[in-house]
Chains A and B, each alone.
Chain A
Amino acid sequence: GDSVTQMEGPVTLSEEAFLTINCTYTATGYPSLFWYVQYPGEGLQLLLKATKADDKGSNKGFEATYRKETTSFHLEKGSVQVSDSAVYFCALSSSRNQFYFGTGTSLTVIP
């Protein structure tokens, strides 16, 4: 079945460091891919998305490219800030109208 595998955390980085969180997926058909962010005590918010192969989603300095050949959607940011500390979830929407999330990666950015 469809699934998302996400890099284990937690991840701790210094401010202005480069961030990569790996995400790979298994799906039939052509899913849309998403990154959601969850700040402490809150629900999830959409960070970025891509709906077809080679699309690049971007928002707030974060980027991810939909790579069909490697079934990946890695999240990157060139220079993280303390305010980026949160839990990040990779997700896909399946052809069966369902949604699948990865297990989440906790990021802590220290000044």
Chain B
Amino acid sequence: DAEITQSPRHKITETGRQVTLACHQTWNHNNMFWYRQDLGHGLRLIHYSYGVHDTNKGEVSDGYSVSRSNTEDLPLTLESAASSQTSVYFCASSESSGGINEQFFGPGTRLTVL
């Protein structure tokens, strides 16, 4: 069965360190997204990609970067982790055909920055 996975599921790091969160999907979807979920804010879009070598900034992109070298993966990098980036991170993917294309979400990564 097709799926979307995230690793690690939990991560504790220190302020200033570089952290990379992995996202892998086997749906063969062109669209991939990264969100963070915080209390009182719901899910907020960090970065998204519509295909290989395409990346776009979302609502809260400062301090984050992504790269898309193949269809299956969209890793999220925190260049220099800050305590404000403590959050739960969700990756999602969707088809790129016309009409409404619901997003399929991964299980999430809980990141703590000390």
A and B pair up = no
